[in-house]
Amino acid sequence: MKSIAITALASFSSLGNQPESIWNEYLKSTTAVKERQIGAYHLPVASLPASLQQMVADLKASDHKYKSLDHSVLYAMLASRMAVEQAGWTAKDVFGINIGSSRGATELFENFHEEFVTTGKTSTLASPTTTMGNISSWVAHDLKATGPEISHSITCSTALHALLNGVAWLRAGMADKFLIGGSEAPLTPFTLAQMQALKIYSTDKSDYPCKAFDLEKDKNTMVLGEGAGVVCLEMGRHEKALAYVEGIGYATDILEHGISISTEADCFKKSMRMAIGDIPLTEIDAIVMHAPGTIKGDLSEYKAIQNVFGDNLPMLTTNKWKIGHTFGSSGILSLEMAVFMLQHQQFIPVPFAKEQPQRKTIRKILVNAVGFGGNAVSVLLSGPL
């Protein structure tokens, strides 16, 4: 596979938006998950800190065209501005954009639907502000970009599917640069009610409401978070590369029902093996798991990893105990965590998980994501050296 460099990354999450600050926050053993009143629910969620909420409000007020946009769009715009500036891209550069979302304009859609149920009518801008293409098109407008714009929804593996698309365009020679990622603002009453109806939402009152990668838990502990993450991809070797995409893999389980994943996550077995290719398994030092905090989701992914790696397991971790499950943006936030570990050569453990054997160096890291229905993606990253 030709070298594909990650030359910039930026994120919005409950940890903030400054990379070094995010790194330090990860290493602290406290969680960003807090209880919050949303509609009729008082539940643990991972929401943006006040400083980022103010940035979003300022962006919304900066242009009359932005005042009607959903938070999912605004998060993506702010993260994209930071990433493009970091990469040194300008409006003269032709680059593609693929930023997806699991749920899209969640808050706006719920508000417009409530308006329709109540009055039988809806606002003029209901349709253009809630379409799935809304995110990438507004990011392109804000950046004055002229390349292809793609939006999609593949539930929780959306952001890593955007990476697959970006890699495909680059490898095909149809683009030299691609901005990819995901954005999600799902902390709304109806969305929370859906998660509770599935009986997967956390009711845990401990210091860690989301027990992602706790394989001994006896109840589901998924917690929702919000945020966006974007990555700048470029062909070839780059002096300022943060990491390189070494391999990509994808697979889908045969559906048993609408939210199913097989007992041993066959989709992950296939996607991980595809991403690893001919690389010796001993070179994979860590895996950032999808691990949503549900009993079946966490355990099935772990069994898939055992099946692929046998007794020589890499170091395993996840960030959802810290920042919650951000649906369509979760894959890029996991990838960000992997890049930080490669840069700092320091593993970020899950504080309540069983102790694992440590590797002296971190050379390559797998990042996993999977959506409802077992739609898995695995991405293999290596350090810049």
Whether residues 209 and 100 fall in one domain: yes
Last residue of a domain, one of 235, 270, 298: 235
Residue 171 lies in a domain: yes
Taking the CB of residue 90, how many other CB atoms lie within 10 A of it? 11
Residue 213 lies in a domain: yes
Which pLDDT does position 262 carry in this prediction?
Answer: 67
Whether residues 254 and 224 fall in one domain: no
What is the separation, in whole angstroms, between the first and last Cα of the chain? 17
Categorize the per-residue pLDDT at 170 as very low, low, confident or very high, splitting at 50, 70 and 90.
very high
Whether residues 70 and 178 fall in one domain: yes
Per-residue model confidence as pLDDT tens digits over 200-246 = 999 998 999 999 999 999 999 999 999 999 999 999 999 999 999 99
**Mode of pairing for the β-strands spanning 96-100 and 177-184:** parallel
Range of lowest pLDDT (111-115, 171-175, 180-184, 354-358): 354-358
Whether residues 173 and 308 fall in one domain: no
- Provide the domain limits for residue 64: 4-235
| CATH number for position 348 | 3.40.47.10
Residue 347 lies in a domain: yes
Q: How many domains does the chain have?
A: 2
Residue 240 lies in a domain: no
Whether residues 209 and 158 fall in one domain: yes
Whether residues 229 and 338 fall in one domain: no
Last residue of a domain, one of 172, 203, 235: 235
**Average pLDDT of every residue of the chain:** 93
Which pLDDT does position 184 carry in this prediction?
Answer: 97
Per-residue model confidence as pLDDT tens digits over 25-56 = 898 888 999 999 888 888 999 999 999 999 99
Name the pTM for this structure. Answer: 0.95
Whether residues 195 and 269 fall in one domain: no
Q: Residue 153 carries which side chain, given as an amino acid letter?
A: S
Which pLDDT does position 1 carry in this prediction?
Answer: 62
Characterize 58-75 residue by residue with b for buried, 16 or more Cβ atoms within 10 angstroms of its Cβ, and e for exposed: ebbeeeeebeebbbbbbb
Last residue of a domain, one of 235, 259, 279: 235
The pLDDT of residue 260 is above 70 = no
Could you list the beta-strand ranges (E) of the chain.
Answer: 4-12, 34-38, 41-46, 96-100, 149-150, 177-184, 224-225, 227-235, 243-252, 284-288, 315-317, 364-371, 375-382
